[in-house]
Amino acid sequence: MNIMLIDDDDAVRMMLQDIIEDYNLGDVTDSLNNATELTNELLSRRQTDILIIDMLMPGIDGIQAVNRIKKDFPGKIVMLSQVESKDLVGKAYENGIDYYIMKPLNRNEIVSVLKNVSEHLRLESFAHNLQNSLLSLNPQAAPAPAPKENLRTRAENQLKELGILSAPGAQDLLNIVAYIEKCGGEISALKGLFTAVAEQNGASDPAREAKAMEQRLRRTIFQGHINVASMGVLDYTNPKFEDYAPLYFDYNDIRNTMRLLENEEKPSPSQVHINMKKFIYALYDTVQRDK
């Protein structure tokens, strides 16, 4: 994978390059301190697969730069930012980014996100090459339908919609969904479920890992709760808000959080009831119905 880095902080770019090289995640073709010269022609010339760009930079900010190139850029875009404003995060996704990572950067999160992005690109390339091969064998044939997304990809898309695909517990949720499917859709008591998933993933101390998993999930689902409440504050008629608020969370809790956000208060985990079983069941049921 060819990766272009754009961030006005030299230390951030050096850290990203070190991680990419240490984990063999791709080749850094460019490391730029601003987006002034970012064009589709440059991306094409460098054969860029992944663009990692900072949100706030002097001159042209990340959102403006992405908006300028996204229409004709076939690769994936990862945005970095210290900004926690839900308005700006939402604006970034609306303008075409694929992943959003909060600063300060976490090595494990960077590795996880780039591996996911690379896998998506490989799947898309495979589907495209397969279609071209079929057409070359029979030029008169209609294009082959794109292969259906697998359960993991559908789950990733759902977490992306909720704004938590890069959160600490996202990988746990993906593993849990896969495990539930393997068990025929049965969701056992959460403690046993977490322990079973930890064992399946080769944890040396499954009980301890299950406790750590529970904490990661609680933080991640709380972040999803905040993101959905923020959607409602921005636009109460947003179809995603109307679907996700009652599906994944307690609607009264969502309304309470919306009131806090409207009053510019920062909700705390103690103010929100996290029903992990409801969230996990809703996620699994949703990706199953999307088959």
Residue closest to 5 by CA, chosen among 160, 114, 167, 125: 114
Residues of the chain with CATH 3.40.50.2300: 2-113
Alpha carbons 153 and 32: distance in angstroms, whole number: 31
CATH level 3 topology of 2-113: Rossmann fold (3.40.50)
As a whole number of angstroms, the distance between CA 90 and CA 83 comes to 12
* HSE-CB of 157 using CA atoms within 13 angstroms: 12
Question: Region 91-103: what's the mean pLDDT?
Answer: 83
pLDDT tens, 102-125? 888 999 889 988 988 888 777 777
Listed ranges 22-26, 92-96, 132-136; the one with the highest mean pLDDT: 22-26
Separation CA 283–CA 159 (nearest Å): 9
Are 244 and 221 contacting, i.e. CB atoms less than 8 angstroms apart? no
Convert the pLDDT of each residue in 232-269 to its tens digit: 888 878 888 889 999 999 988 999 999 998 888 888 88
Tokens of 148: 């259906």
